[in-house]
Chain A
Amino acid sequence: MSIHGSRKAFDLDWVERWARRVNEDRVLPRIGRFFNARFVLGVDDTDYLCEVRKGKIEKISEGLEPSDLGYEFALRAPSSAWSKFSQKTPPPMFNDIWAMAHPLHKQLHIEGNQLTFWQNLRALHWMLALMREV
């Protein structure tokens, strides 16, 4: 069991399966060609640091360490919200990160440098949608 909890959905194994699915995608190399960033996928109290280069996830780290030297942005939401988001057909208000983050709904928090987030929104959006195929 990880020091970060015993949750099975969205545990490190799950995140790794998602990252492998991302990396075999045939569209991301085109739309994510310039997507180079380090972002945090936050699930409940667990942070996963995802290092992205040319639209592929090169490294996932569970938990943040000072030697990570930070990250650019974070998407943090409770596992209940990610669980709905990643359903094959997600329910209303949970089918999109901007839907979950919108001030009317506040299910997901976008933190850090929002410029990087918005610059790569198309590829990021595509990448996160692949959670529905994990």
Chain B
Amino acid sequence: MNKHDPIVGRYVYVTCQGKTYRTYYEEAGEGIPLVCLHTAGADGREYRHQLCDPDITSNFRVIAFDLPRHGKSLPPADYWKEEDEYKLTTNFYSEFILEFCRALELHKPVVMGQSMGGNICLDLALRYENEYSALIALEGCDHSPGWHIDPLHHPHIHGGEAVATSVFGLMAPDSPDEYRWETWWYYAQGGPGIFKGDLYYYSVDSDYRDKVHKISGKVPIYFLTGEYDFACTPEMTQRTAEKVKNSECVIFGGGHFPTSEDPDKFKEVIMPVFKKILQNDPERRGGSARDYQARGTSGSSTRSRSGERPSERRVIDL
């Protein structure tokens, strides 16, 4: 008999800010809804290992969607007439996640996002704390500058190869080659200008440094960052977590794409978090209750780094 993954893919129509988007998502499992957010310029395939892991899907309904313009989710029908380049904004991103959850009639899901999906967790906590039961910010922090740059979308530069290679070093050198190069492939397949447009959100429109202290703490937030992440360093995550009420911070020996670059190592660090979420929400766990054993430990990084920020360049558009 042929081998199949347990993942099922479907399309749902999500209306956000006046437009309706045919949105692709994959899901597996039953229990607490766990909505997974991909990184900038990528798609839900980054969660394929977690979607296939019975230790996770026995207690969580794992759902990974592709944002509009990513993966199998189309851009808006009139994208070809747009006069401005694509730029993901905090407002659209945050509202789209909420509308997606409503379209699937999810009740108080857990949201787990990485990179820009980690950063948006801060905004979800600020705006929609009554809508979610827990937030998991992988490689997330309150400000991650330096990535909204023109070479990532330039007609003289091969977007796929340049974009994918620009993120390759964000992965830990000891993550398996097979999975690092699979992650490279996801990036090489992104639409033109989409990675750069997402990075507008990531580096420009998601500066939460003066806001995160306002997060009430009603929703627990778990921060997990790999020590090889040079875009959102362990120190940047730790500084953010220190300001966020009801948060925990784990630094581990991985990189910026933990779910796809090294799924085994990621499982070691995420299972204790899932265990806590289940303990706080015992009524909603899946049918086959399992005893979660925390494997592996995480160590804190002790490297120091100056808090210096790049100076803004003055530009005049004429």
Contacts and interface: CB of A to CB of B under 8 A. Distances in A.
Nearest to A126: B165
A104 B233 contact: yes
Contacts of A90: 173
Given A90-B173, A92-B230, A104-B230, A125 B146 contact: no
Interface string B118-160: 0000000000000000000000000001100001001011100
B228 interface: yes
Contacts of B172: 95
B154 A99 contact: no
Contacts of B154: 115, 118
B146 A104 contact: yes
Give the size range of A's interface with the partner.
20 to 34
A102 interface: yes
Q: Which of B161, B164, B227, B310 has the most CB of A within 10 A?
A: B161
B168 interface: yes
Interface in A95-119: 95-99, 102-105, 114-115, 118-119
A105 to B, nearest CB: 6
Nearest to B169: A96
Contact of A103 (B146, B151, B161): B146
Interface in A45-72: none
A9 interface: no
A54 B262 CA distance: 34
Contacts of A95: 169, 172-173, 228
B157 A118 contact: yes
A105 B310 CA distance: 10
A116 B231 CA distance: 24
Contact of B158 (A89, A92, A104, A119): A119
Contacts of B303: 92-93
A102 B157 contact: no
16 contacts: A92-B228, A92-B301, A96-B168, A96-B230, A99-B169, A102-B146, A103-B145, A103-B310, A104-B145, A104-B146, A104-B310, A105-B230, A118-B157, A121-B161, A121-B162, A121-B166
